[in-house]
Amino acid sequence: MKKTLFALGTAALALLATPAAAQYYYLPGSVNGNPGGLNSDSEYPVGGGLATSWTTISAAPAASPAWSTVQTLPFAFNFNGSPVTQYKVSTSGVLTFDANAATAPSYTKAALPNAGIPDNSVCIWGLASTGTNDLIVNKTFGTAPNRQHWVMFSSFGIPNNTCWTYWAMVMEESTNKIYVVDQRNSCTGATFAIGIQVNSTTAYSVNGSPNVAAQAGTDATPGDNKYYEFIPGTQPSNNLIANSLNVADYLVLNQAPFTIAASYLNGGANAVTSATVNYKVNNGATVSGAASGVNLAPAATGTLTHPTAWTPSATGTYTLKFWTSNPNGQTDPAPQNDTVTKQVVVVSNIAARRPIIEVFSSSTCAPCAPANATFKTLMDAQPAGDYNYIKYQMSWPGTGDPYYTAEAGSKRTLYGVNSVPNAQIDGGWNGHAGQITQNILNGFKSKPSFMNLSGYYTIDAAAQKVDMNIDITPLVTTTKSLSLQVAIYEKSTTQNVKSNGETVFYKVMKKMVPDANGTTLTNLTENVLQSKPLSYTFNGAYTLPANASAPVNHATAHTVEDFTDLGVMVWIQDMTTKEIYQSANLTASGVGLGEETTHAVRVTPNPANQTAVVSFGEHTSGSVRVVNALGQTVYAAALNGENALTLPVADWTNGLYVVEFTNGAERTTQRFQVAH
For residue 595, is it within any domain? no
149 and 102 housed in the same domain: yes
Last residue of a domain, one of 182, 210, 232: 232
Among 210, 172, 216, residue whose Cα is nearest residue 37: 172
Last residue of a domain, one of 310, 329, 347: 347
For residue 596, is it within any domain? no
368 and 331 housed in the same domain: no
pLDDT at 174 (0 to 100): 97
Domain range enclosing 492 = 356-585
Low pLDDT (below 70) residues in the chain = 1-22, 46-48, 589-600, 629-631, 664-667
252, burial (CB in 10 Å: exposed 0-12, middle 13-18, buried 19+): middle
DSSP 576-616: TT--EEEEEE-B-SS-STTT---SS-EEESSSBSS-EEEE-
192 and 69 housed in the same domain: yes
Q: What is the CATH number of the domain that holds 642?
A: 2.60.40.3080
pLDDT at 548 (0 to 100): 94
Pairwise CA distance, residues 68 & 56, whole Å: 10
148 and 210 housed in the same domain: yes
**Which residues lie across from 423 on neighbouring strands?**
359, 431
Q: What is the CATH number of the domain that holds 455?
A: 2.60.40.10
Pairwise CA distance, residues 597 & 33, whole Å: 53
For residue 593, is it within any domain? no
For residue 226, is it within any domain? yes
The amino acid that residue 187 corresponds to is: C
For residue 590, is it within any domain? no
Please give the DSSP secondary-structure letter assigned to residue 363. T
146 and 273 housed in the same domain: no
137 and 187 housed in the same domain: yes
646 and 513 housed in the same domain: no
pLDDT at 189 (0 to 100): 86
Hey, how many other C-beta atoms are within 10 angstroms of the C-beta on 600?
19
Tens-place pLDDT, residues 154-188: 989 898 877 889 999 999 999 999 999 999 988 88
Last residue of a domain, one of 286, 314, 347: 347
Tens-place pLDDT, residues 379-419: 999 988 899 999 999 999 999 999 999 999 999 988 878 78
136 and 267 housed in the same domain: no
337 and 378 housed in the same domain: no
For residue 465, is it within any domain? yes
For residue 146, is it within any domain? yes
The pairing of beta strand 226-232 with beta strand 165-172: unpaired
Domain count, the chain: 4
164 and 264 housed in the same domain: no
Please give the DSSP secondary-structure letter assigned to residue 153. E
Long-range contacts of 44-51 (CB under 8 A, 24+ apart): 44/154, 44/155, 44/220, 44/416, 44/418, 45/133, 45/135, 45/154, 45/155, 46/135, 46/137, 46/154, 48/133, 48/418, 49/220, 49/413, 49/416, 50/137, 50/154, 51/139
457 and 413 housed in the same domain: yes
Full-model pTM: 0.64
For residue 591, is it within any domain? no
190 and 309 housed in the same domain: no
pLDDT at 479 (0 to 100): 79
The amino acid that residue 19 corresponds to is: P
